[in-house]
Amino acid sequence: MNNKKVLLGVSGGIAVYKALDVISRLKKKGIEVKVIMTKSATEFVTPLSFQSLSENPVVINMFDEPKAWEIQHISLAKWADLVVVVPATANIIGKVANGIADDMLSTTIMATKAEVIFCPAMNTNMYENKIVQKNMATLKDLGYGFINPASGRLACGDIGRGKLENTEIIAEKIIKKLSSKSRDFEGKNVLVTAGPTIVPIDPVRYLTNRSTGKMGYEIAKEARDRGANVTLISGPTSLDIPTGINFIKVNTNEEMLNAVLDNFNDSNIVVKSAAVADFNVKEYSKEKIKKTDSNLVIELERDKDILETLGKQKTNQIIVGFAAESSNVIENAKAKLKRKNIDYIVANDITSNDTGFASDDNKVTIISSLGDVISLDKMSKREVAKNIFDMIKGR
């Protein structure tokens, strides 16, 4: 585990002393550790203890004179392969979830592109508080990780969930995360499209589809965590914008096409997972269409095919398309792969009740232009994303 770097954030709770054991276990594995303490954490354990074990200066105050000519929260944010907060109080969780950066630890977390893992430790009633749970859910949606607390007798005498997880388990999970953490797409530019597009009918009404954008957002997160520079072009969704990426919001087919073409030449890999509308309204009404006694007939016409456009313009880009099918899934996907002149097609059956639209899971078949076919069982959309990039890496 040499050359692996962990930035350990220590916030102020009674479990602060346990963070020392985490450092000790990581150091024995050859992992370099640097520590940021909040001021309240120093009330429980002195910084000297953390400095002695980590063999690095401990950072506390944003306004301390730096040891070198650098902006510390930025240099630490770039230095870390992984950021772990042990213990993570309700306070630091709430700060990050709501975009508050008012001390060295919260500021560094905001500035890093490394994965961040929180190890909560607090009173049971605090942990179960709806606000705390909401903040944790927000962070999870944004891609932050958690090592959940254990149940047991707490320092206050209460019994319940909120006790910091065993330090041996925390250290094992950190080591496992670092050993599996591959930045195999470092320096690559990855362009991802996600979500639906809309077809305006009049100033009030529009047509759209059932895409939630979940698959595309997980693809963007996977690419980001594997070192890529990621641009995510998204239609309207209710999802939180992932951290550490270039995000472009669009609504219509034309807006998405323009955004894609603006970024296409600089991209090494393009993953087109958006559910783009195939048809456009032939005559858009500039004023709201009034309801009458007769039926309303809307004439549609074919809209631009973004994937086909990219297939015609590609030079060295690897292009991945998606095929959401309701019948003859593999046959239709193979035909689309050839017709669009792309490198991979990810086919999924949209008639399935427990995968696809709005689900956190998916069951797909990945087909390459070289004839490779990989059928994946039901798994999380993040796991599907991992398999897509593993297949691209093999090529």
Q: Which of 137, 150, 156, 159 is catalytic?
A: 156
Q: Could you give the CA distance from residue 82 to residue 327 in angstroms, rounded to a whole number? A: 44
Q: Could you give the CA distance from residue 143 to residue 97 in angstroms, rounded to a whole number? A: 11
CB contact set of 358 (below 8 Å; sequence gap of 6+): 210, 212, 214
| Residue 112 phi, psi (nearest 5) | -85, 150
Q: Are 381 and 365 in contact (CB under 8 A)?
A: no
Q: Could you give the CA distance from residue 181 to residue 209 in angstroms, rounded to a whole number? A: 36
CB contact set of 365 (below 8 Å; sequence gap of 6+): 329, 330, 333, 346, 347, 348, 373, 374, 375, 376
Q: How many CB atoms lie within 10 A of CB 253?
A: 22
Pair of tokens at residue 357: 């639209």
At 73, the amino acid letter reads H
**Is 156 considered catalytic here?**
yes
User: Shortest CA distance to 333 belongs to which of 306, 362, 373?
Assistant: 373
Q: How many CB atoms lie within 10 A of CB 125?
A: 12
Between the CA of residue 197 and those of 85, 163, 164, 273, 339, what are the distances in Å? 39, 45, 44, 12, 22
Residues with active-site annotation: 156
